[in-house]
Structure 1
Amino acid sequence: MINLILGNPKDVHVIHLTKGLKEANSTVVHLNTRLLPIQLKASWESETEKSYLVLADGYKLNIESIHSIFLRRISDPYIPALGNPRKEQIALDDSTTTLRVILKSSPAFWVNPWDISYRIHEEKPLQLSNAKKLGIKVPATLTTNDPEQVIKFAESKERVIFKPVCGGAWTQFITDFHLEPKRLSLALKMSPVTFQEYIPGTNIRTYLIDESVYSAEVKSDSVDFRQDKTSQLIPVNLPEHIRQQSLDIAKNFGLLWTAIDWRLDPTGEYVFLEANSNPLFLYFERQTGFPVTQELVKLLTKPR
């Protein structure tokens, strides 16, 4: 049984999952997509309907032989400098498309599927819309590059936070400094931003692996607990209706593996913030003792 992990083999999460899969008697192959096209060879042909990759160490991986694919990270192929931005973009597009065609031609079981994983990650405002349609409470949110809308939104809420639309930076409280007209206008000319009402209360993180659900309270005073290296995770049992909402979110989003962030407000109501399609999990597992790696291995090695 071959299990393919997409990601850098030096990534600590990749190393940890590899160890778990090997202990389950699986063959693990790593694919660092950054190495295409210089160190990786990729081929697809219509007559035989076969495709394969030749990895940096010379190992020839027949795509049809892969049992499951775990998507840790897909990096853009590295294109050498060609002295022409247009040619470099064409080379990048060709390499990315070839990789996509080959991997998507595989009958392997994905955790999580390429298209779904990146769509969910990149279109976070739509997560809120979909969750709301499921009857799940979400915070008031505005994604815009219109300064007038930002001012209006900020004035209508007691406290407001802001963060990137897609991700990549920390969540912060909005202040008068950020709302200064010239500064705000300049910032929003660079890109739209997501603004959100601040929900006082407690952070709850919920991991789902197939039908298994594990949750913990994140004890932190930081507005973005990812910045807090002293944060603590305390295992908690979700109310049954929130556990079911977690399963509903994962199913609606097409995710078999996800981490959902909730805010438990002072009234005891859970507010959905976002679902991560490619979450870090080692810290959570070590702090709580929940068998996340074991569950992932079970999911990836399940007979199909």
Structure 2
Amino acid sequence: MTRTKSTTGIPQRDFGRTGVKVSAIGLGGYHLGLVKTEREAIRIVHEAIDAGVTFMDNAWEYHDGRGEEIMGKALEGRRERVFLMTKVCTHGRNRRTAMRQLEQSLRRLRTDYLDLWQVHEVVYDNDPELHFAPDGVIEALDEAKRAGKVRFVGFTGHKHPEIHLKMLSYDYPFDSCQLPLNCFDATFRSFEQLVLPELLRRGIAPIGMKSLCGEGTPIRKRVVKAVEALRYAMSLPVATTVTGVDSLRILRQNLKVARSFVPMSDEETQELRSRCRRYAADGRFELYKTSKYFDGPPGREQHGFPRVEELAA
């Protein structure tokens, strides 16, 4: 995987076999919806782009579309400077539903095309069969590409490596795959060990996520430091590592790591894996792998699970 520095100091990497380069860190769309004000969220996007971050992550369902709306406003006048991705959230519904979501995403994001459209949250055992069924979302990926509304396509998920491998078993020409990669995943139901090598073998761009385990719990528990956890994730052979940013302080911390980035040595990565192994063993910091609690509302609904809000009532 080719790695270069941009004029801003943020490393740029090959996006799989596509011939495109993206920034080594990406900006997550979900956390933009957690920022106190829209004005501050837009400022975060602007500062990230001006610093050299090109990869923008989002999903149709984030905060009922609010995540895309914020990013759309922030990209006014900056669209051509970024590699824009969002996710389709049919969760087993048909091609027509997927295409309707695509049009909604394009309107919210204020653009007429996406650089990358990914099938969101492939986390249920029967998801691959549903997605590849006749009139399923995979047919929508093909239609969107033919129409010129999407350049590249992929899928995401965080539950179990075997589900990712089942998606790959259909031999569909995915351009990308998003997966949880962190120093705890390395020794627990490991996407790094089981899925990442297969993506690299196929020339599919790996997009790392959950470098701090989603909610940063191991950082608050002082098991690892945020900087070393992010550096570990970025040291893996991925195209980009999507980071959740809900404040300018966090953005600037991440930018500092990226600008000064030097890959961990084999000895450093092994030391960190070994240090985290005991905490990783029961999945306490990766509950998105072991529980349905963190699965998104549309997916829960389509698979017959109650909304999290109902469970708390």
TM-score under structure 1 length normalisation: 0.26
Where is the strand percentage greater, Structure 1 or Structure 2? 1
Q: TM-score, normalised by structure 2?
A: 0.25
Higher Cα Rg, which structure: 1
